[in-house]
Amino acid sequence: MAIQWFPGHMNKARKKISEAMPGIDLVVEVLDARLPWSSTNPLVDELRADKTCIKVLNKADLADPEVTRQWVDYFDSQMNTKALPLVAEDRNQVKKLITLCKQLGAARAEKKQAIRIMIMGIPNVGKSTLINALAGRYIAKTGNEPAVTKSNQMIDLKNGLVLSDTPGILWPKFENENSGYRLAASGAVKDTAMEYTDVATHALGYLLQHYPDALSARYKFKALPASASEALETVAAKRGCLKPGGIADLHKAAELTLHELRAGKIGKISLENPVLVEAEIAALEEERRLREEALKEEKDGQ
């Protein structure tokens, strides 16, 4: 699934972040724990350079705990990177982030200087909710629609931490179309910008492979469907998503499936894991290599 990409917008965001980064001690990138790789933006790691980054795996209550542990290990193995799963609405969990920030910024604290933190994240990962929880009051606008943050804010938490909220971080330009489908399934993409049946079919295909028991239990399948399209047809029949004449209303069934997936009603689901992602990266690199070889042969033959 292709996601609308705004190069002009991204260039503007890159400039603003580059200008602010020298005055920042620590970067906090908010990710969706269900899809940490697809919900990141390469711009973050590119612009932070060697500054320490905390990858906050938000919405951890909706993700598969075992897969989340795999992602924590994955990020912790990277240079100057720490991962922390949490639920932004839970103030007690957010306190762990404050403690971690103070530990990583101890050198500043020893000099009686505030630790300057830049909060980053693509739309709808819970960045504004986290900022409000850190501040202990309503600071940043939140909502179910992506991209509600519009302007820069500097927030003094009065506890040794100062936050810089950086808006304008949209999705990267994806080579991997699976990331687009995962973002859409998670709710990060506006519903008006997606085809429900396509996204639900992609999600059901993944669930059939990785979470067949949870899927069967939720929709009371007598036998596991042989394909994603068959699964969507079965959901339509089971939930009464029918048009006149008993014809399956696949759009309605898709809408229902995605809403239940996002709400955690199918179970604690992670939409990607490190092994899957590494395999997809390798496949893309091989595809790129073959494309470059073909172009070279075409040039040589001219």
Q: What is the mean pLDDT of residues 118-142?
A: 83
Candidates 204, 224, 202; CA nearest to 213 is 224
The yes-or-no verdict on residue 170 having pLDDT over 60 is yes
What pLDDT score does 104 carry?
95
Q: What sign for the dihedral angle of Cα 172, 174, 179, 185? A: positive
Q: The whole model's pTM is what?
A: 0.89
What pLDDT score does 69 carry?
98
Q: What is the mean pLDDT of residues 96-123?
A: 92
What pLDDT score does 9 carry?
64
The yes-or-no verdict on residue 199 having pLDDT over 50 is yes
What amino acid occupies position 256? L
C-alpha to C-alpha distance for 58 and 33, rounded to whole angstroms? 5
What pLDDT score does 167 carry?
57
Q: Residue 4 is encoded by which pair of tokens?
A: 């609308």
Least reliable range by pLDDT among 66-75, 111-120, 248-257? 111-120
Torsion of CA 57, 284, 261, 193, to 10 degrees: 100
Residues facing 247 on adjacent strands = 243
C-alpha to C-alpha distance for 168 and 16, rounded to whole angstroms? 9
The yes-or-no verdict on residue 89 having pLDDT over 90 is yes
C-alpha to C-alpha distance for 129 and 127, rounded to whole angstroms? 5
| Number of Cα atoms under 13 Å in the Cβ half of residue 253 | 26
Spell out the long-range contacts of 150-158 with Cβ–Cβ below 8 A and sequence spacing 24 or more.
Answer: 152/16, 152/20, 155/131, 156/114, 157/98
Q: Residue 292 is encoded by which pair of tokens?
A: 């470059």
Categorize the per-residue pLDDT at 27 as very low, low, confident or very high, splitting at 50, 70 and 90.
Answer: very high
Domains along the sequence of the chain with CATH:
8-165 (3.40.50.300), 195-271 (1.10.1580.10)
Q: What is the mean pLDDT of residues 86-102?
A: 95
Assess contact for 155 and 165: CB atoms under 8 A: yes
Determine what percent of the chain is predicted with pLDDT higher than 90.
62
C-alpha to C-alpha distance for 143 and 256, rounded to whole angstroms? 21
Mean pLDDT of the chain: 88
What pLDDT score does 269 carry?
98
Specify the 3-state DSSP secondary structure of 113: coil
Q: What is the mean pLDDT of residues 260-269?
A: 98
C-alpha to C-alpha distance for 180 and 193, rounded to whole angstroms? 11
Assess contact for 212 and 221: CB atoms under 8 A: no
| Strands 26-32 and 53-58, sheet pairing | parallel
The yes-or-no verdict on residue 181 having pLDDT over 50 is yes
What stretches of the chain adopt beta strand conformation (E)?
26-32, 53-58, 81-85, 115-120, 153-156, 161-165, 242-243, 247-248
The yes-or-no verdict on residue 100 having pLDDT over 70 is yes
